[in-house]
Structure 1
Amino acid sequence: MSHIKENIVHIQKEIQALCRDIGKDPQEIHLIAVTKTIDASRINEAIAEGIVNIGENKVQEILNKFEQVNDINWHMIGHLQTNKVKYIIDKVQMIHSVDRIHLAEEINKKAKQINRCIDILIQVNIAKEETKFGIDEKDIYDFIDQLALLPHIRVKGLMTIAPFEENPEEVRIHFKRMKQLFDEIHDKNIKGIEMRYLSMGMTNDFKIAIEEGSNMVRIGTGIFGKRNYTE
């Protein structure tokens, strides 16, 4: 038996209650349903319950599901190889995981070929984990200067993946620093760079993330339940 509807209602109520407690407008929080390993029928069930944004980690999963899923905003949230940009450039609303100039240049090139501009987020490895992708915060301004020269991408904010901790309070420090960095960049008013979205927080820690300034959360398990990974 599917619990997708109940799970979505529960998540939405949690977001609304939290925003009420901290004085935020819950409408400003963008919920992305993470659909890694989730089949199209269950994704469509979530869409029927009001989900408008879904996030995929792998290009192949986007390609496999794209024609089977109802009209929706697709977000590429996983590590993206440069040679696979061409497969999704006409399908995704936003790429969250831009962390190197060669990737950004390829996105710009492929977007130009289909006459569009594509929204991106800069992925920051704020906790400096060796196993995680993302740019080091000390390199972000040089990176931004390079991104600002690419006319077919639009920088819309920052993204991070926090370390998994049994006690989510332990990642608050990383979310707090991300918000500081987000605000610092915003205050510099860099031409062509917009700090609109701060994408951080997942099932285990999204409430901490929202408290610290996230306005885009990526939730998979909380909506679809635990996954049975085969790889």
Structure 2
Amino acid sequence: MSIQSNIQDIRTRLEAACQRSNRDPNQVRLVAVSKTKPASQIEEAARAGQQLFGESYVQEFTDKREQVRLPVTWHFIGHLQSNKVKYLRGNVSMIHSVDRLSLAQEIDRQWQKIGETVDILLQVNLADEESKSGATEEAAEDLARRLATLPHLRLRGLMTLPPYCDNPEDVRPYFAQLRHLSERIAALNLPDVHMTELSMGMSHDFEVAVEEGATMVRIGTAIFGEREYP
């Protein structure tokens, strides 16, 4: 199947998941995870109507950003080292993977240099998996309070990467857990913190994520095929 037909298939499945959960399909955005994929495939997806792309590696992103000529929106979704934030400055509209105060402070410092603000998500490691980044659920509320004090970033929600399970239903509790945590942080009424985004769900489990409230699903394999490593 072509990238265009893959995107159409995913959108059809997204709409069906929204219908099952009485949600407006316009409330859910598809983030095409284009890491390890060439600029030509990103442009093919863009010509098929896909506008939002997620990258995970800073150097790869900076290279591809120069190569992609069509107007697209970039999100950074991967683990981010503080010393590489400067390469993202002004070039991404959202960072999904903010998991510690020191990283947030560096993002704030870099965007201050250009007099702008950037939307961020707080990444939460709900299963406390050592192999994955993310704040613990217990630390998330306090971290959100601290993020609210940084003037050049805007906390807009949460992101998680739950354990992989062959049966998507086994992951549903993690998606529900993230939604409940988002509601608790929203109830804190922190200044300029709007918990409107839940970035959760990938190629194998995005329909369950949508049913549990996802506003962004991060899908790579189901669009572009199996991952290619440089």
Give 2:111's aligned amino acid. A
Q: TM-score, normalised by structure 2?
A: 0.97
Partner of residue 58, structure 1: 57
RMSD: 1.0
CA distance in 2, matches of 1:117, 1:226: 35
> SS state of the match for residue 106, structure 1?
helix
User: Which has the larger displacement, 92-101 or 137-146?
Assistant: 137-146
Give 1:104's aligned amino acid. A
Alpha-carbon displacement from aligned partner over 1:129-178 (angstroms, at most 9, x marks no partner): 11110000101121112111110000010000011111111111111100
Partner of residue 141, structure 2: 141
Partner of residue 24, structure 1: 23
CA distance in 2, matches of 1:149, 1:188: 14
How big is the shift at 1:3? 1.1
CA distance in 1, matches of 2:161, 2:225: 20
Partner of residue 111, structure 1: 111
Partner of residue 187, structure 1: 187
> SS state of the match for residue 193, structure 1?
coil
Matches within 5 A, 1:28-107: 28-69=27-68, 70-107=70-107
How big is the shift at 1:189? 1.7
How big is the shift at 1:29? 0.4
How big is the shift at 1:21? 2.0
Give 2:56's aligned amino acid. N
CA distance in 2, matches of 1:228, 1:105: 33
> Percent identity between the aligned chains?
48
Runs of 5+ in structure 2 lacking a partner? none
Runs of 5+ in structure 1 lacking a partner? none
CA distance in 1, matches of 2:16, 2:139: 37
How big is the shift at 1:184? 1.4
Q: How many residues align?
A: 229
> SS state of the match for residue 127, structure 2?
coil
Q: TM-score, normalised by structure 1?
A: 0.97
How big is the shift at 1:188? 2.5
How big is the shift at 1:192? 2.1
How big is the shift at 1:187? 2.4
CA distance in 2, matches of 1:54, 1:223: 11
Give 1:188's aligned amino acid. L
> SS state of the match for residue 229, structure 1?
coil
Moved over 4 A (4+): none
Alpha-carbon displacement from aligned partner over 1:172-220 (angstroms, at most 9, x marks no partner): 1111100111111122222121101000000011011111111110000
Partner of residue 5, structure 1: 4
> SS state of the match for residue 194, structure 2?
strand
